[in-house]
Amino acid sequence: MAHLSLSWANVAIVLSLCLGSISYGYDFSIISTTVGQPTWYAYMGLTTDPTQASLYSYSNSIIGTIFGLFSAGAIFGGLFVGWFSDAHGRKKSLLSAAVINIVGGALQAGSVHVGMFIVARFITGFAAAMLVALVPVYIAEVAPPAIRGLLVGQHGAFFLVGYTVAAWVAVGSFYSANASFNWRFPLSLQALWPLLLCFFVYWLPESPRWLVSKGRPDEAWKILAKLHYDPKDPEQLFAREEFFQITSQCAADKASYGDVSLLHLFTKPHLRKRTLVATLVMWASPANGAIVIYSNIVVLVAGLGFDSADSLLLSAGWITLACVGNFANAFYLDKLGRVRSMVIGYVGCIVFVIIEAAIVAEYGGTTNKAALSAGVAMLFGFITFYGGFVDTTIYVYCSEIFPTHVRAKGMGWSIAVFFLGNLPFLESSTTGYATIGWKYYLLFIILPALNVGLLIYFCPETKGLSLEEINGIFEDKVAVRLTNLTEEERRDLDSRILDGVVGKDPQAQAPERNNVEKSAEVTLDE
């Protein structure tokens, strides 16, 4: 690109969209603290007392179902949003997800029995997946290439803000004398963040890449010109270059692929390669055990000998560290690179899980405070590496490897894989810890070790490249290259852009661009 361009418009859009990230993080995290509230167990007729064998077994089954149904809803939400976002645009999809999220949160807070609560978790999971897929896609489509990792990484950082807020709200609610307030108030706040998102969505622009893909380049240019306006660049070459690249690549993609359905992610060779890479990246996260620990952190800490109040405090501190780690991950991701970051993170996690398993095996159920405290410390070490190197990276990577005309579908599939991968672990985690104890941790040592090798072998690096140029590393055509041009090549390109390739008024070229796209469609039909 001509130069790095980061405007206040970019920042404002990212921060507004991150309300969706907070919504997802809060939705997902609040259940881990809800199951740490004794008053919730009492109201729902459940127990944490293993001496009540029959009821205890039933309770573990219900909690596993609650965790699992959120993930099941998210699988459907991820697949749905891929189609809906491409058909109706990013803005309408965000608004729809926010409304569904409000309904799900309200139903949870007002639940009168456990069946209603389970259904509400499914609805909330559906909406949460829509948001967790949409936000990184939208940010990726408006972010300058050189800092795309930083900006898209705010999605991962802010959904950890949602985790953190949920944890500390639960801590505060725990000390209320009102038994109903203990768990209903934290759940009710699930509606707050999507309500705020509904307000901000109104002024957000539509994704310029989506507009170009729908044959509306004049509207796309107006948005790009505002997003990348720079008073030091009177010709606005940065915006013009990007517009030229986007419109050229869109025409090339339509000529190559035409209309693409979800099925084409698996039947077209170059899309299939991307889909398999995204599947690997998203599977590696639940196979690492992070979400199981996220969801069960209160129970895990309690199992190491801490009472309910201390468990909630320690889990809130753990989530807060994860939040700090995710912001750090976003900050250096563009320098460190996507694949290297994931490999470092997973290797660090494996080390800490090995030590954690050894401590639980030797000292679990004892009163050795020093050893049990060390067990908690290992959980903190785990999240330092996962939050600091992985949690943000996976969303950045999967949001950028798919071409524009199929990006929402590809990201939707990725999110569905993420929650599908979580489903067996979340369903089995409560029972697994209760029945085989420390041996359950072996899953999160063996599987990540295998995945590290696969990530190194199969995943290409994407840092620094524009979304259109990433096509090249998957052996697709790149219509216009802007990264790593020589000064002479840059001057020649800018001269052609200003002399008529795009024109001094890119809006005037919209009919020409439409004709290019129509020609591509005619060729495909023939």
Assess whether 198 and 238 both reside in one domain: no
Tokens of 96: 């729809």
Q: How far is CA 337 from CA 100, 133, 169, 417, 484, in A?
A: 35, 21, 35, 23, 17
Number of residues written out for the chain: 526
CB within 8 A of 326, min separation 6: which ones?
A: 153, 156, 157, 159, 160, 387, 388, 391, 392
Q: Cβ(227)–Cβ(214) under 8 Å?
A: no
Assess whether 278 and 224 both reside in one domain: no
Low-confidence ranges of the chain (pLDDT < 50): 1-4, 501-526
Q: What is the pTM assigned to this prediction?
A: 0.81
The identity of residue 119, as a single letter, is: V
Assess whether 385 and 510 both reside in one domain: no
Instruction: Please indicate, yes or no, if residue 1 is contained in any of the structural domains.
Output: no
Assess whether 148 and 34 both reside in one domain: yes
CA 123 from chain centre, in angstroms, equals 18
Assess whether 432 and 342 both reside in one domain: yes
Per-residue confidence (pLDDT) for residue 135, from 0 to 100 = 94
Q: Cβ(134)–Cβ(81) under 8 Å?
A: yes
For the chain, the domain total comes to 2
CA angle 145, 150, 156 (to 5 degrees): 125
CA 475 from chain centre, in angstroms, equals 26
Per-residue confidence (pLDDT) for residue 453, from 0 to 100 = 96
Q: Cβ(74)–Cβ(412) under 8 Å?
A: no
Instruction: For residue 356, give the nearest of 290, 295, 419, 422 by alpha carbon.
Output: 290
Instruction: Please indicate, yes or no, if residue 311 is contained in any of the structural domains.
Output: yes
Assess whether 440 and 495 both reside in one domain: no
Per-residue confidence (pLDDT) for residue 523, from 0 to 100 = 28
Q: How far is CA 298 from CA 38, 73, 169, 400, 481, in A?
A: 12, 24, 14, 35, 50
Instruction: Please indicate, yes or no, if residue 70 is contained in any of the structural domains.
Output: yes
Per-residue confidence (pLDDT) for residue 298, from 0 to 100 = 65
Assess whether 450 and 356 both reside in one domain: yes
Per-residue confidence (pLDDT) for residue 520, from 0 to 100 = 31
Instruction: Please indicate, yes or no, if residue 479 is contained in any of the structural domains.
Output: no
Integer Cα distance of 90 and 88 in angstroms = 7
Helix or strand or coil: residue 46?
Answer: coil
Instruction: Please indicate, yes or no, if residue 128 is contained in any of the structural domains.
Output: yes
Distinct helix (H) and strand (E) counts, the chain: 23, 0
Instruction: Please indicate, yes or no, if residue 480 is contained in any of the structural domains.
Output: no
Assess whether 389 and 505 both reside in one domain: no
- The 3-state secondary structure of 160-207 reads HHHHHHHHHHHHHHHCCCCHHHHHHHHHHHHHHHHHHHHHHHCCCCCC
Assess whether 313 and 411 both reside in one domain: yes
Write the pLDDT tens digit of every residue in 181-227: 989 999 999 999 999 999 998 889 999 999 998 989 999 999 888 88
Structural domain span for residue 233:
212-257+485-525
Instruction: Please indicate, yes or no, if residue 478 is contained in any of the structural domains.
Output: no
Q: How far apart are the first and last CA of the chain?
A: 36
Q: Cβ(274)–Cβ(459) under 8 Å?
A: no
For position 163, which CATH number holds? Answer: 1.20.1250.20
Per-residue confidence (pLDDT) for residue 502, from 0 to 100 = 45
Assess whether 386 and 400 both reside in one domain: yes
CB within 8 A of 273, min separation 6: which ones?
A: 474, 475
Instruction: Please indicate, yes or no, if residue 12 is contained in any of the structural domains.
Output: yes
Integer Cα distance of 19 and 198 in angstroms = 9
Per-residue confidence (pLDDT) for residue 164, from 0 to 100 = 85
Assess whether 182 and 103 both reside in one domain: yes
* Other beta carbons within 10 Å of 49: 11
Tokens of 143: 């972010």
Assess whether 160 and 193 both reside in one domain: yes
Q: Cβ(426)–Cβ(71) under 8 Å?
A: yes
DSSP classification of residue 201? H
Q: Cβ(158)–Cβ(21) under 8 Å?
A: yes
Integer Cα distance of 234 and 407 in angstroms = 32
